[in-house]
Amino acid sequence: MRRIVWFTLAAVLCAAAFAATADTRLLHHPDIHGDQVVFTYAGDLWIVSSQGGTARKLTTYPGQERFPKFSPDGRSVAFTGDYDGNNDVFVIPAAGGEPRRLTYHPGDDGMLDWYPDGQAVLFRSGRASFWNRFNRLFKVSIDGGLPEILPLPTGELSSLNADGTKLAYNRMGTEFRTWKRYRGGMAPDIWIYDLVANTAEVIAPSDANDLFPMWQGDTIYFVSDRGAVKVQNLYAYDLKTKKVRALTDYKEYDVQWPGIGPGAIVYENGGYLYIMDLKTEKSRKLSVEVRGENLAARPVIKNVSDCIHGFGLSPTGVRALFEARGDIFTVPAKKGEIRNLTRTPGIRERDPAWSPNGKWVAYFSDASGEYEIYLRPADGKGEATQLTKGSRIWYQNLAWSPDSQKLLLSDAAVNLYYIDIEKKELVKVDHGQYEGFSNFITGVWSPDSKWIAYDKASANGLDSIYLYSLADNKSHKITGDMTDDSAPAWDPEGRYLYFVANREFNYSFSAIEFMHYHYNPGKIVAVTLQADTPSPFIPESDEEKVVEEKPKDGDKPAEGGKPADGEKTADAKPAEAKDGAAKADKDKPKTVEIKIDFEGLENRIIDLPVPDGNYVGIVPDKEQVFFASVGVPGSGAQGATLQVYDLKKRELKTVIGGVNGVSFSFDVKKILVQQGGGYAIIDAKPDQKPTDRLNLAEMKMTVDPRAEWPEIYTDAWRITRDFFYDPNMHGVDWAMIKERYGAMLPDVAHRDDLNYLIGEMIAELNSSHTYRGGGDYPEVPRLGVGLLGCDFELDAASGRYRIARIYPGQNWDPTRRGPLAQPGLKVKEGDYLLAVNGQPLKHPTNPYALLANTAGKAIPLTVNAQPTDEGATEIVVTPVANELMLRYRYWVDANRRKVEEATGGRVGYLHMAATAEPGVEGFSRDFYPQVRKDALIIDLRYNSGGHIPDMYMSRLDRKPLGLWATRYTDPTVIPAATHYGPKVCLANGYSGSGGDAFPYFFRKSGLGKLIGTRTWGGLIGLSGTPPLMDNGGVQIADFSFYNTDGEWDVEGKGVSPDIEVDDRPDLVVAGHDPCLEKAIEVLIEELKTYKQPKLPIRPPKNPVR
């Protein structure tokens, strides 16, 4: 049944390529005014009659246009356009014409609403945010100029009232989240803010997602997923009665992206548009026919070398093997043409492997609707042979046996298999019960194809080496649980098994505190498979050779010796026959039979005399061993280094450095390396410097997006099915969900439409950490707009722009260096910027318009303390591409000063922006200097997560163990970096993932009170999933948190505070930071009764011994 559905969808979609539909779906972001509706389809803006019919195209550009809004008079449309590689606000006549740009900042600007007088528009942007978790609101004139920031600390979806003095808005936004039925701490409410009186109130609060406020008259219309089925519907809030009523009752698809006009709302549901008459509150479906050229859906011949997801080599290295854009290619080392072996639009072939005998290429293909193993003649002639049937799991890591009769493979359920290509039956080798966050175990074949070596984890998390015998289907564990061993590799002559032994505990100490860390744990080792096999490293000794005397002519040989010259023996053969036999023996492949003495095997492990390192793979030859190593994290090393150890010469040499991947030919004479964005075939010898990269200019194929899109959609569905941590898919009928959103595939006309469908599909899991993105989007030229690390304000009297605030950053840190804060510039707040790059700057010119294409380039600026050219000076600065870290550091430092001033320096403050970078660096930067503060505020608001943060608890939860006394200095406590006093942790709805776990662990460790609001509620995680064929991807949670009571926890709800404090917008606008102020209040109170651990002074009597 699944196969029939697959081909039905593909057939329908192909039909859609030739005929426009009279009822087009996937119409987004609609708005309405009178008898016209504007919407987005396939990345462009279209207008259609409010009665339906054929739509008229309003914009045409490779970049996307979104969020259109009619002006109050209906004559113009403002929208967000991705022109010049940046999302800015534009305005265009509704009748058609040239778009006019209103914003120029490199931050994303999202169009929201028009001001009632039609002279300005409201948009949101992260340009002035101190962290990347939220936007703020801005007003810009339709005549251009510098946008004006609204005072609100955060702002997302918004709607102005009739006179523009009040705003209905979301403080947080979840409209782009691929997470349906969400109920965590970030679920947005709708607030009303009075822009004149600075008052704020929340309307109709609930635990649901209330979005898209639309203010008309005495009613605020909005979208909410409140209710039993938790599907988004339209609601109305009466400002007089303060009552909420439902206007729609959809149970399958969400109401999305509504737009309001005089007396009507247009909205999206299931890809269609509907119009609701606000008098009758009845909806009708709008039938729209879109007739577009749909250039993003047109089949084109493309070079697909940028979509390579797997590669290998032919047995002797004369050709390279690639998986690119779902097809299998072979590429000659020097001579010949590039061959596409498969040529299957709409079908994905991946993970190719070339058989050692050169005859076959094996790969996975989803031609049947699920991935199966296929064989195809390596020369491209002949049909493919299907080896497996009925599969229902993601497979990877195909590896041929040396006899070209069997294949090794692994699956996403952490199983290892092999298959005989004649018997066509999968045989299970083992299962990785304790692999943790790893989804695959891999193995290698023995030279005689009768054994498989692999590693898998034990219950303690350390890997051990196993040998599986095909003869009796048994695995033998050959290394113990006390060591961490991986990456086995067979000596081609059957003498040894090599592997990486992470058994060295090289260590160093932190430069900040007395804590050690381990580095370069690995050794390359070999175990002799037979007890009587000598070590390859027997000590050498220089000895003189003894020259034996030759017997004289006519002497008879000693008994049993060699016959004298000319003497015949019974089995003597002519010299020619002897030479021929010797040659035949030399040409005949040597037969290797693996024999293993398991008794005492672990005691026969010997290490190669090479330095310890971070080794990741081994490939042995008869007399040499190749292995790859990666640098110590943080060392700055790019890629891996491939080295070779010569067993005979006992020398270690480098083959090549800076590689991102390697593949050896079966005869270990050639290596395909991926380096610097290209590929080259090199000799398996030291000191390789590839000069001739593989010519991939003709790696071309017909890319048919309409054939690809159903496969990509299904691949995303399969990956989610096979990698999601819960086999029950959170109770969702996953097959039904595929069909629900797959029904819209015929109307996909742009890669963004496909990402939308994939996002809607995975959102049905009601899970955090489900993402989609990327893929083959039309290319848009990108210009980097430079930033000066400052805020501008318009001096209305002169029309000049004043530098209102300079964000100095930290000049000693090149990543946080403020362009205007460099020594010697003498620019100060209040000065005027009069010209940029010699171009005069005056209203209505936008300052950022003159900074286009200046990021990272030294440019002249003209500045003056007065808004006149007289007395102006010229300075040279280098604008930056992003000033977020400058704004962030300014905010953190301001908070620290506020805490210090309010507590007389007794309380310390640190903010963690993430639990990965930059949070690790930020914690270390700000925690250690403040360990002697009486109390400490750890601010997790806006934390974007990253790493599991248990490591921070070990630093915060320390107790004094003793002291060191010295002769001339004060005693030192053990451990030195210990903070003893009371602590509090601040968190809010933006604190997510690791930002959920930190406050949870903080409370669990008994470190102090949590202050703020409930956290995001996303405490599951992801460790990576395979890419989609066109470089798109889905990220799926493959592990989830549960507490020590055996209950699922935090995910979907968040961590509630001990003391709830909301950073209300009116209070923040008035200059307050309610959470921080409450933290100060709590700690001052706690310090009144807190008793520091009594640490004794140096004993008064000196020891006498």
Amino acid 635: pLDDT: 65
Q: pLDDT band for 678, please (50, 70, 90 cuts).
A: very high
Amino acid 589: pLDDT: 57
Average pLDDT, the chain: 92
Considering all CA atoms of the chain, what is the largest pairwise distance in Å, rounded to the nearest integer? 131
Amino acid 560: pLDDT: 45
pLDDT over threshold 50, residue 6:
no
pLDDT over threshold 80, residue 789:
yes
From 295, 314, 332, the end of a domain falls on: 295
The whole-angstrom distance between residue 15's C-alpha and the CA centroid of its chain comes to 35
Same-domain pairing of 273 and 313: no
Q: What is the DSSP string of 781-822?
A: ----B-B-SEEEEEETTTTEEEEEEE--B-TTSGGGB-GGGS
* 1045 to 292, 716, 725, 1048, 1049: CA distances (angstroms): 58, 34, 20, 9, 10
Of 216, 259, 234, 254, nearest to 36 by C-alpha is 259
Same-domain pairing of 283 and 314: no
Amino acid 636: pLDDT: 66
- For residue 862, what is the domain's CATH number? 2.30.42.10
Q: For 221-257, b where at least 16 C-beta lie within 10 A, e where not — what string?
A: bbbbbbeeebbbbbbbbeeeeeebeebbebeebbbbb
Arithmetic mean of pLDDT, 684-688 = 97
| 691/333: higher pLDDT | 333
Q: What is the DSSP letter of 1042?
A: B
Amino acid 1098: pLDDT: 80
From 880, 899, 914, the end of a domain falls on: 880
- For residue 433, what is the domain's CATH number? 2.130.10.10
Q: How far apart are CA 1042 and CA 321, in angstroms?
A: 44
Amino acid 4: pLDDT: 27
Same-domain pairing of 417 and 475: yes
- For residue 976, what is the domain's CATH number? 3.90.226.10
Arithmetic mean of pLDDT, 437-445 = 89
Domain range holding 220? 22-295
Arithmetic mean of pLDDT, 353-359 = 98
pLDDT tens-digit map of 913-944: 999 988 899 999 999 999 999 999 999 999 99
- What percentage of the chain carries pLDDT values higher than 90? 83
Q: What is the C-alpha radius of gyration for the chain, rounded to an integer number of angstroms?
A: 35
pLDDT over threshold 70, residue 81:
yes
Amino acid 552: pLDDT: 62
Task: Classify residue 335: in a domain, yes or no.
Answer: yes
Task: Classify residue 580: in a domain, yes or no.
Answer: no
Task: Classify residue 979: in a domain, yes or no.
Answer: yes
Amino acid 19: pLDDT: 38
In this structure, the chain runs to a length of 1105
Arithmetic mean of pLDDT, 24-40 = 98
Amino acid 580: pLDDT: 47
Burial class (CB in 10 A: 0-12, 13-18, 19+), 864: middle
pLDDT tens-digit map of 535-564: 988 887 888 888 877 666 555 544 444 444
Same-domain pairing of 227 and 310: no
pLDDT over threshold 80, residue 2:
no
Whole-prediction pTM value? 0.92
Same-domain pairing of 220 and 95: yes
Same-domain pairing of 310 and 264: no
- Of 508-522, 567-581, 952-966, least confident by mean pLDDT is 567-581
Same-domain pairing of 368 and 415: yes
Q: pLDDT band for 321, please (50, 70, 90 cuts).
A: very high
pLDDT over threshold 80, residue 723:
yes
* 182 to 225, 232, 398, 473, 1015: CA distances (angstroms): 9, 11, 40, 48, 13
Task: Classify residue 428: in a domain, yes or no.
Answer: yes
Task: Classify residue 754: in a domain, yes or no.
Answer: no
pLDDT tens-digit map of 384-397: 999 999 999 999 99
Amino acid 514: pLDDT: 80
From 850, 880, 910, the end of a domain falls on: 880
Say if CB 102 and CB 88 are below 8 A apart. yes
Q: For 134-166, b where at least 16 C-beta lie within 10 A, e where not — what string?
A: bbbbbbbbbebbbbebbebbbbbbbbbbeebeb
Q: What is the DSSP string of 712-767?
A: HHHHHHHHHHHHSS-TTGGG--HHHHHHHHHTTGGG--SHHHHHHHHHHHHHTT--
* 925 to 94, 420, 946: CA distances (angstroms): 53, 58, 18
Same-domain pairing of 338 and 439: yes
Same-domain pairing of 470 and 521: yes
Beta bridge partners of 36: 33, 49
| 251/783: higher pLDDT | 251
Task: Classify residue 583: in a domain, yes or no.
Answer: no
Amino acid 952: pLDDT: 94
pLDDT over threshold 60, residue 575:
no
- For residue 211, what is the domain's CATH number? 2.120.10.60
Strands, E, within 551-613: which ranges?
605-607
Same-domain pairing of 928 and 994: yes
pLDDT over threshold 60, residue 30:
yes
Amino acid 539: pLDDT: 84
Task: Classify residue 546: in a domain, yes or no.
Answer: no
Same-domain pairing of 916 and 848: no
Token reading at 10: 């593909």
Q: pLDDT band for 529, please (50, 70, 90 cuts).
A: very high
Q: How far apart are CA 454 and CA 487, in angstroms?
A: 7
Arithmetic mean of pLDDT, 771-787 = 92
The position carrying tokens 């599986």 is 468
- What percentage of the chain carries pLDDT values higher than 70? 94
How many domains does the chain contain in total? 4
Q: Are strands 426-431 and 640-646 parallel, antiparallel or unpaired?
A: unpaired
Arithmetic mean of pLDDT, 364-379 = 97
pLDDT tens-digit map of 168-212: 999 999 999 999 999 999 999 999 999 999 999 999 999 999 999
pLDDT over threshold 70, residue 96:
yes
Q: For 50-68, b where at least 16 C-beta lie within 10 A, e where not — what string?
A: bebeebbbbbeeebbbbbb
Same-domain pairing of 97 and 180: yes
Q: What is the DSSP letter of 699?
A: -
Task: Classify residue 382: in a domain, yes or no.
Answer: yes
Of 571, 681, 683, nearest to 626 by C-alpha is 683
All residues at 6 or more sequence positions from 728 whose CB lies less than 8 Å from its CB, including other chains: none
Q: How far apart are CA 667 and CA 754, in angstroms?
A: 44
Q: What is the DSSP string of 933-986?
A: SSEEEEE-TT----S-THHHHHHHS----EEE--SSS--EEESSS---S-EEEE
